[in-house]
Amino acid sequence: MWKLIKRLQLLLNAKERRLSYALLGLIVLAGLTDAVGISSILPFMAVVGNPELIHTNTWLHTIFTRLEFESTNTFLVGLGAAALAIMVFSNAVSLASSSAILWFSYNLGYSLSTKMLSTYVRQPYPYFLEHNSSNLVLNCTDDVGRVIHGITVPILQAIAKAIVAMSILLLVTWVDPWLAVLFGAVLGTIYAVVFVTIRQKMTDFGRASKEANKERFRLATEILNGIKELKILGQDEAYRERFAKHAALYAKNQWMSTAMSQVPRYAIESIAFGSVILLVIYLLVTHQDFKEALPLMTLYAFTGYRLLPAFQQVFASATAVRFNMSSLEAVENRLKTLVGARVTEVMPRLPMNKDVGSLQQEIALKKLRFQYSNADTPIINNLAITIQANTTVAIVGSSGGGKSTLVDIILGLLEPQGGTLCVDGISITSRNVTSWQKHVGYVPQHIYLSDDTLAANIAFGVAPRDLDMDRVEQAAGIANLHAFVLGELPNGYTTMIGERGVRLSGGQRQRVGIARALYSNPDVLILDEATSALDSLTEDAVMEAIQKISHKKTIIMIAHRLRTVQGADIIYLLENGSIEDQGTYTELLAKNEMFSRMAYAGS
């Protein structure tokens, strides 16, 4: 338990650690007041059973005379009211402790999920090429949820109930040591034996449940994202059956783990019922006088009422922790924490590269080399090109030749293993890439559109309070979108366009992508096969929008169909990661056979 608590502490920041110590203090206070609340019933029941104690017991007689009670009945009323007040106060402290546990745990969940998402966002782009996005989402949501609901809350509740149980057992030990030892030993042994028996099974259930849930989440994501194709292929039912298989396995492991955690409760309740009868007999035999035994029987009744749930909570918490350990391991791995200690590598402080301003002269790619980690050969090899400011440059070539990889390098998403990317003589590295990206707009082949307004999709990622409608309309105007918005959309720029932009045509989606890229008024506009999925007429409309800014901005076009690059100032033919040839459209058509074949095939 202590090692697990240390592991959880490694997930906390300094403020959260301080809060955890304060919470622990409140939990201890709640346990002590619970014992005081139970013990407060003793004087009241003793006087009820034997009123003569008011005069024979020194403490009771002192209270009776000092507070000037008029009769035994008024004293009983006072004792009862005091016992009730103490019990109410004890319950109030327990409620505050339980509420504080939940407040701390849920805020920790917020902190962990935010920290994990922030960790992902800070990862370099290649990280996302190597990891399944549904698994990353699952780590941020389900795994963090299981760490909170299945480990943090149960551990804190177990600590609280353990303190309550120890306080109560100490109280009973003070009254009757042998009975307290028997009480604690019997309950503790039963729960310990059951837990040792099932703990490995609970761990196995937890791991199987996590794997089933991961597959369930992945399949649900794939079904909903690919529903159109699945329906056409007639595979929607097959996917549903695969999902149902993993969902059934997940449900099975969940209910079996929950059922196992309840096993001792019902067995012990039967034992406890018989124990009450034996307890009454024991007290009557040892004390002879029923009046003397009455307060003790009341004490033990209250003890059993509080102690049994405490033991059950500790046991249920222990089984829940075993079941959810795999999620804690996943969160630790993602956040790069180490069991037992956090190791921080102290990196030497390196000088910051000069920030990149507006493009004035050229973008120079010098002897670039890039190879993916899972590839045997470089996809970009010894590549060198120069792009002059305010020109339109096209990069063409066959599929798999490295065009999109080259774009990702220019965008600063990929860092080459060799060579440099220079902007106006400034080398772009990880230390100044953010300042370079502020001057670049990007239009991919497939535009991601969120289920939001058109304006929000153009100003993608901008907080609603910071959205500039003038810039939205200006960008839409350049993209040949403004007339469509005013003429055909019922609510103009505030029209909800549906998830993935299903209410827009392909050409309209691409123009939204162009408007999005132009919203920040970049110096460089990169189009990565932005029109390859469009028909000829729609492609012409999109290209017309691009022509509006020709020679006003630097435009880099990646194209497979050559009809879109005829107006480029210079075209680079990229093959096998290197520049095969270069020139205008007319020049390449005349001198390069491969280019001629590509032009003929795309005509």
In a domain, residue 394? The reply is yes
In a domain, residue 320? The reply is yes
Are 89 and 138 within one domain? Answer: yes
User: Mean pLDDT, the chain, as a whole number?
Assistant: 79
Question: Among 80-84, 335-339, 379-383, 424-428, where is mean pLDDT lowest?
Answer: 335-339
344 burial (CB, 10 Å; 0-12 / 13-18 / 19+) is exposed
The boundaries of the domain holding residue 589 are 352-439+523-538+549-603
Are 12 and 91 within one domain? Answer: yes
pLDDT at 351 over 60: no
Are 432 and 455 within one domain? Answer: no
For 545-561, what is each residue's pLDDT tens digit?
778 788 888 999 888 77
In a domain, residue 228? The reply is no
pLDDT of 310 reads 73
Distance CA 311, CA 488 (A): 67
Which pLDDT band, with edges at 50, 70 and 90, does 319 fall under? confident
For 148-201, what is each residue's pLDDT tens digit?
878 888 888 888 878 877 777 776 777 667 766 776 677 677 777 777 777 777
Q: Decide: 300 and 293 in contact? Cβ < 8 Å.
A: no
Structure-model confidence comparison of residues 362 and 544, the more confident one: 362
Are 500 and 597 within one domain? Answer: no
Structure-model confidence comparison of residues 526 and 219, the more confident one: 526
As a whole-number percent, the residues of the chain with pLDDT over 70 amount to: 82
pLDDT of 337 reads 39
In a domain, residue 47? The reply is yes
Mean pLDDT to the nearest integer, 254-270: 68
In a domain, residue 218? The reply is no
DSSP, residue by residue, 513-561:
HHHHHHHT--SEEEEESTTTTS-HHHHHHHHHHHHTTBTTBEEEEEESS
Q: Which of 477, 418, 399, 404 is nearest to 446 (CA)?
A: 404
Mean pLDDT to the nearest integer, 563-584: 88
For 333, the enclosing helix (H) or strand (E) is: helix 325-334
> H helices within 122-226, ranges in order?
125-130, 133-138, 144-147, 153-175, 177-225
Q: Decide: 572 and 394 in contact? Cβ < 8 Å.
A: yes
Among 59-68, 278-287, 349-358, top mean pLDDT goes to 59-68
Tell me 453's DSSP state: B
Are 35 and 174 within one domain? Answer: yes
Are 132 and 175 within one domain? Answer: yes
Structure-model confidence comparison of residues 414 and 226, the more confident one: 414
In a domain, residue 178? The reply is yes
63 burial (CB, 10 Å; 0-12 / 13-18 / 19+) is middle
Are 485 and 588 within one domain? Answer: no
Structure tokens given for 468: 């500039």
pLDDT of 48 reads 75
Are 114 and 168 within one domain? Answer: yes
In a domain, residue 301? The reply is yes
Are 557 and 600 within one domain? Answer: yes
Are 484 and 577 within one domain? Answer: no
Distance CA 560, CA 538 (A): 16
Mean pLDDT to the nearest integer, 263-287: 61
pLDDT of 233 reads 59
Domain count of the chain?
A: 3
Mean pLDDT to the nearest integer, 211-221: 79
CATH, residue 415 = 3.40.50.300
In a domain, residue 227? The reply is no
Which pLDDT band, with edges at 50, 70 and 90, does 263 fall under? low
pLDDT of 570 reads 92
**Longest alpha-carbon distance in the chain:** 122
Distance CA 367, CA 386 (A): 11
Are 80 and 165 within one domain? Answer: yes
> H helices within 226-262, ranges in order?
227-233, 236-261
Are 196 and 102 within one domain? Answer: yes
For 86-138, what is each residue's pLDDT tens digit?
888 888 888 888 889 889 888 888 888 888 887 777 777 877 777 777 778 87
Show Cβ contacts of residue 410 under 8 Å, excluding neighbours closer than 6 positions.
Answer: 363, 365, 421, 440, 526, 556
